[in-house]
Chain A
Amino acid sequence: MPRSDFWSGLVVAGFGLLALIWMIPNYAGSNPFAQMPPGLVPSIAAWIMIVCGGIVALKGLVKLIVSGISPLTTEINWSAIGWALWPFLFVAVAIWFMNFIKITWFGAILIGLMLFLLGERRWWLILGCSVVPPVLLYFLSVYMMRIGVV
């Protein structure tokens, strides 16, 4: 997969570069008296990412050129990407909802809806699987940990 090597290496090296020129100077703080200033270890880490990510990207690029593949492609399988992406979006939206509704109450909907989306249609199974875990959580948080409903 030279194409994904190229792009992923580029992203890693890019993150390292971003860390080196923006995050570390602005947010690492300074300590002029220290032999190991606060920015030293993060900078080493950033350099590792730049060098190693760069090598991965470069090797990917060489392979791309040798085998004559373009780094960009128009044959993107959108439905595959969508299928990989929707669980993330689903959980992200669920987390947003948890700002307002506690996970103990919201949990049943979270599990039930996702089960439905994953293709389960037997209502008794959806009901059982979505109700039992939140009940366990309620028991755990309220009676065993005594921290109230989470």
Chain B
Amino acid sequence: MDFSAVGAAAAEALTLASFIGIGGGVLLGYVVGVVPGLSRSVAISIAIPLTFYMSPYIAISFLIGLSKGTAAGSAVSAILLNAPGEASSAATALDGYPLAKQGKPKTALQVGLIASVMGDILATIILIFVAIPFARVALMFGPYEMAAILAFALVFIAGLSSGNVFKGLAAGGLGIFLGTIGLDNQTGLPRLTFGYTELMDGMPLIAVAIGTLALSEMFIQSEKLRYDRANMSVRLENRADDHITMPIFKRILPTIFRGTGIGTFVGALPGLGPSVGSFMSYGMAQKAAKQPELFGKGEPKGIAASESADNAVIPAALIPLFGLGIPGNVSAALLIGAFAIHGITVGPLLLRDNPELLYSIFAGMILASLIMLVLGWYGLMVFAQITRVPPHVVIPIVIFFCLAGMMLQGYGTFGLIILMAFALLGYLMKKYDYSFVTFLVAFIITPMLELNLRQSIILSRGNWEILLNRPIALFFIVCTLIALIALIIRTFQTDKAAAGAPVSE
């Protein structure tokens, strides 16, 4: 590594202008992330015109800070309102909201923030020192490997749902079905779009995520108001024990490391995205835990697993971007655009031709994480006050922002109707105990899985022996089979347990 370039980079990273630019990005992202309904893509569309006026280094760091800010901010609404702003924060709500309801909202927020920042910084360090020289490893993951990994993720996460296994699988089936809507990638012809041009790119993920996660939760809460108005809100009681302690930190530390590892792996593979990372990490944490039954009931490890992976994906998605010029996910693809505005072509040449810029960006990324820690630490004191606002005031405002967020994306009234349909679906699924996690993950994974399967079948020309030369693919196929068998065994066990127990539901 060229140390004079590093020194110059650090110097530029510490100017006042960059401090303001990065801090502004983190703050903007954090605020947008906190409001349910406004998602990362809104934040980025706000930011891209702003970056016209910035130097390349500040512009890029601003955008990366923004991504990090939204990832950390969406945890706040997931924990306090059970209304995650992004699909990738849905796993955070599973334990964050119960912990907040138990009177420990600050603990939950602090665990989430520390996991976010640590996942972030560790993944950035991996990005700088390990990954870029080894970015070509990502090319070893061809369609066979990707199909096997996606199949594993699908089966593994389907096995997570806590309730009735068959209901979980039925929800997964619906997710798969809705995930196939859109242009068929082989023929280019519309599939299951029923003649609507708007569905040609598939059901908009933003509508599905906001509808089933945030909006449906508002309808559930407005229904609860009738029965339980007094006990609805999360109480902020300034309890002395409501903060993160050393024992909790030590307990979640291994989970954070594991989550960072999973998030970095998922982020480095082009296409997978943060939702897969956070759910995989949550599932792995649950499987590794000594008391897996605590998950879903306010286990800090659950929050830490989800948030660390969610945030680790963001720097990790830059590994293939800087190493190979291939964007790891949608946010990284937007960065290519931002680079292009400033006349910079992203890829391996950046390190050769423009190392100062690259090191400045790395320095800016670490700075962004540190700003996020400070901002989040004081911010959560402010945001924790949301819990003082009675729920009947929160509900209409959140509904408004969900609708507005959809309009800001340019989907029009059609988008709002889809949003409402998914809010109704999410409401029914939550009410009748069909796992919306399985649904959402199946919906997200299906298009990628189908594409990679098709590619594998065509490329192998139907010859299965090709897999023998693909140890990574074989490994994940074996993992998938094990997960599948475990799922079947669990199904029969719960069946027996249910048959043995009296009708208690």
Contact = CB atoms under 8 A, between A and B. Distances in A.
Contacts, number: 186
Interface residues of A, number: 70
A46 B184 CA distance: 18
B1 to A, nearest CB: 38
B424 to A, nearest CB: 6
B424 A35 contact: no
B400 interface: yes
Contact of B420 (A5, A27, A48, A91): A91
Nearest to A95: B416
Contact of B191 (A27, A46, A120, A140): A27
12 contacts: A12-B174, A29-B184, A36-B453, A45-B173, A59-B166, A88-B420, A103-B403, A110-B403, A129-B393, A137-B404, A140-B46, A145-B45
A35 B505 contact: no
B382 to A, nearest CB: 16
- Of all A-B residue pairs in the complex, the 8 with the closest CB atoms, nearest first, are A48-B173, A45-B176, A45-B177, A52-B170, A114-B396, A49-B173, A118-B392, A150-B407
B167 A52 contact: yes
A12 B170 contact: yes
Contacts of A53: 170
Given A4-B432, A63-B503, A91-B399, A115 B393 contact: yes
Majority secondary structure of chain A interface residues (helix, strand, loop or mixed) = helix
Contacts of A150: 404, 407-408
A150 to B, nearest CB: 4
A88 B417 CA distance: 11
Q: Which secondary structure dominates chain B's binding surface? A: helix
A141 B184 contact: no
Contacts of B166: 52, 55-56, 59
A5 to B, nearest CB: 8
B167 A120 contact: no
B56 interface: no
A114 B404 contact: no
Interface residues of B, number: 62
Contact of A8 (B190, B194, B397, B434): B434
Given A42-B192, A91-B420, A133-B397, A48 B454 contact: no
B395 interface: yes
A45 B226 CA distance: 37
B328 interface: no
Nearest to B192: A27
B180 A42 contact: yes
Which one of B219, B404, B434 has the highest number of Cβ atoms from chain A below 10 Å of its Cβ? B404
Contacts of B454: 34-36
A95 B173 contact: no
B176 A41 contact: yes
Contacts of A28: 191-192
Contact of A41 (B170, B172, B180): B180
Contacts of A134: 400
B209 interface: no
Interface string B165-190: 01101101110110010001011011
Contacts of B404: 103-104, 107, 133, 137, 150
Given A36-B454, A45-B180, A150-B408, 4 more contacts: A12-B174, A31-B184, A42-B191, A145-B46
